A and B are shown apart, each in its own frame.
Chain A
Amino acid sequence: MSSSAKSNPPEWRAYPRADGRKGIRNVVVVAYLVECAHHVSRRIVSQVDDLDVHLIGFPGCFPNDYASRMMRAVCTHPNVGAVLLVSLGCESMDRDALQQAIVDSGRPAELLVIQENGGTASTIAEGVRRVRQLRDTLAGAATVPMGVDELVVGTICGGSDGTSGITANPAVGRCFDALVADGAACVFEETGELIGCENIMAERAATPELGELIQASVAKAERYYRTMGFGSFAPGNADGGLTTQEEKSMGAYSKSGSSAISGLIKPGDIPPAGGLYLLDVVPDGEPRFGFPNIADNAEIVEMIACGCHLTLFTTGRGSVVGSAISPVIKICANPETYERLSEDMDINAGKILTGQASLDELGEEIYRRVFAVAGGERSLSEALGHQEFILTYKSFEPIGPACLPLRQVN
Chain B
Amino acid sequence: MLHPDDNVLIAVASLAPGTEVSIEGRRHQLQEAVPLGHKIARWDLPAGTRILRYGAPIGSLFAAVKAGDWVHMHNLKSDYLASHTRKGRAEEQ
- Residues of A at the B interface (CB closer than 8 Å) are 161-163, 165-166, 195-197, 200, 222, 225-226, 230-231, 233, 235, 237-238, 240-247, 250-251, 254, 316, 334-336, 353
Interface residue SS majority, chain B = loop
Enumerate chain A residues within 8 angstroms of B77, measured Cβ to Cβ: 243-244
In the assembled complex, the Cα of A230 lies from the Cα of B71 at a distance in Å of 21
Contacts A195-B80, A235-B84 given; does A336 touch B59 at CB 8 Å: no
Contacts A246-B58, A250-B58, A353-B12 given; does A161 touch B73 at CB 8 Å: no
Partner of B59, one of A162, A166, A225, A244: A244
Near A by CB (< 8 A), chain B positions 23-38 give: 35-38
Partner of A241, one of B37, B84, B89: B37
Q: What are 16 of the A-B contact pairs (CB < 8 Å)?
A: A162-B11, A163-B37, A195-B80, A196-B56, A230-B81, A230-B84, A231-B81, A235-B85, A238-B83, A242-B37, A243-B59, A243-B77, A244-B79, A246-B57, A335-B36, A353-B36
In the assembled complex, the Cα of A222 lies from the Cα of B35 at a distance in Å of 30
Enumerate chain A residues within 8 angstroms of B57, measured Cβ to Cβ: 196, 246
Q: Taking CB as reference atom, which chain A residue is nearest B81?
A: A231
Contacts A162-B10, A250-B54, A353-B12 given; does A316 touch B83 at CB 8 Å: no
Q: Taking CB as reference atom, which chain A residue is nearest B38?
A: A241
Contact check, B37 vs A246: say whether CB atoms are below 8 A apart: no
Partner of B79, one of A165, A226, A246, A334: A246
Partner of A196, one of B11, B73, B80, B85: B80
Contact check, A334 vs B37: say whether CB atoms are below 8 A apart: yes
Bits for B35-78, please: 1 = Cβ < 8 Å to A, else 0.
11111000000000000011011110000000000011100111
Contact check, B36 vs A163: say whether CB atoms are below 8 A apart: yes
Any A CB within 8 A of the CB of B14 = yes
Contact check, A235 vs B81: say whether CB atoms are below 8 A apart: no
Q: Taking CB as reference atom, which chain A residue is nearest B72?
A: A243
Q: Taking CB as reference atom, which chain B residue is nearest A247?
A: B58
Contacts A243-B71, A244-B77 given; does A196 touch B58 at CB 8 Å: yes
Contact check, A240 vs B37: say whether CB atoms are below 8 A apart: yes
Near A by CB (< 8 A), chain B positions 15-29 give: none
Contact check, B81 vs A245: say whether CB atoms are below 8 A apart: yes
How far, in Å, is B93 (CB) from chain A's closest CB? 11
Enumerate chain B residues within 8 angstroms of A235, measured Cβ to Cβ: 84-86
Q: In this complex, which of B39, B58, B59 has the most chain A Cβ atoms within 10 angstroms of its Cβ?
A: B58
Contacts A163-B37, A235-B84 given; does A246 touch B59 at CB 8 Å: yes
Enumerate chain B residues within 8 angstroms of A165, measured Cβ to Cβ: 54
Contact check, A241 vs B72: say whether CB atoms are below 8 A apart: yes
Contact check, B2 vs A238: say whether CB atoms are below 8 A apart: no
Enumerate chain B residues within 8 angstroms of A233, measured Cβ to Cβ: 81, 83-84
Enumerate chain A residues within 8 angstroms of B2, measured Cβ to Cβ: 166
Q: Taking CB as reference atom, which chain A residue is nearest B55?
A: A250
In the assembled complex, the Cα of A250 lies from the Cα of B78 at a distance in Å of 13
In the assembled complex, the Cα of A166 lies from the Cα of B73 at a distance in Å of 20
Enumerate chain B residues within 8 angstroms of A243, measured Cβ to Cβ: 39, 58-59, 71-73, 76-78, 83
Partner of A162, one of B36, B56, B81, B83: B36
In the assembled complex, the Cα of A145 lies from the Cα of B38 at a distance in Å of 46
Enumerate chain B residues within 8 angstroms of A353, measured Cβ to Cβ: 12-13, 36
